[in-house]
Amino acid sequence: MLLTIHDLWKSYPGQPPDRAVLQGVQLDLDGGSTLALTGESGSGKSTLLHLIAGLDDFDRGEITLAGTALSTLPDSGRSALRRGPVALVFQQFNLVPSLTVSQNLALHARLCGRHDPIWQRQLTTKLGLDGLENRYPEQLSGGQQQRVAIGRALAARPQLLLADEPTGNLDETASAAVLDLMLDLVRETGTALFLVTHSNTIAARLDRRLHLRNGQLA
């Protein structure tokens, strides 16, 4: 089991326990599988993803990722997870504006010490970015920028890709194309995918779907 979440609770200052954004959440995710998390705006979907990524602290419970309990890690250890087995893609592309497409693609892998020029070349082709390597983010369409963001995340071959509304800023055509590419790539690489989305159409494309409501999963 790559990811296990047990009895996870999360509240914010001023929230009573019965209004906690996450209330005893439990789930698991096998390596190489894909899971969609749906829910209304403000239901805690992004909060759960951020907790899995080690970007925030939970109140109680446990998240175990690749055999490591997150509660045992200092901030530096959680940062190391995001430079190793975990990669993230957000709705905002978060590309470095001063870096070219090629440099952005290589960034995460270089930080991990796992840059593979051959794999990056293959990713560039698979993502339809051939000929764009020397362009800067501002010279790309939204769909192209999101392809670069996905490629950057997968360049280091992570075990788990966390994606928060990755097509939320794209039109329907670009969204479908980007989702197709992401699903093809995670299956080719054996990367597990945990994807937060409000779209039932997108959720139906993944292996499993869970819905977050009133702090609990169904």
Question: How many other C-beta atoms are found inside a 10 Å radius of the C-beta of residue 15?
Answer: 11
Q: What pLDDT, on the 0 to 100 scale, is given for residue 46?
A: 94
Q: Name the H helices within 60-212.
A: 75-82, 101-112, 117-126, 142-154, 172-189, 200-203
Q: What pLDDT, on the 0 to 100 scale, is given for residue 195?
A: 97
Are 75 and 56 in contact by the 8 Å Cβ rule? The answer is: no
Q: How many CA atoms lie within 13 A of 95 on its CB side?
A: 29
Q: What pLDDT, on the 0 to 100 scale, is given for residue 218?
A: 87
Q: How far apart are CA 36 and CA 129, in angstroms?
A: 27
Q: What pLDDT, on the 0 to 100 scale, is given for residue 15?
A: 81
Q: How far apart are CA 63 and CA 58, in angstroms?
A: 9
Q: How far apart are CA 169 and CA 152, in angstroms?
A: 18
Q: Which domains does the chain have, with CATH numbers?
A: 3-217 (3.40.50.300)
Q: What is the pLDDT of residues 143-172, one digit of tens each?
A: 999 999 999 999 999 999 999 999 988 998
Q: What pLDDT, on the 0 to 100 scale, is given for residue 108?
A: 93
Burial of 179 (0-12, 13-18, 19+ CB in 10 A): buried
Instruction: Flag residues of the chain having pLDDT under 50.
Output: none
Q: What pLDDT, on the 0 to 100 scale, is given for residue 95?
A: 97
Q: How far apart are CA 199 and CA 14, in angstroms?
A: 31
Q: What pLDDT, on the 0 to 100 scale, is given for residue 19?
A: 85
Are 39 and 217 in contact by the 8 Å Cβ rule? The answer is: no
Measured in degrees and rounded to the nearest 5, phi and psi for residue 36 equal -105, 135
Tokens 């978060």, located at residue: 94
Q: How far apart are CA 177 and CA 41, in angstroms?
A: 24
With residue 45 as reference, give the H or E element that holds it.
Answer: helix 45-52
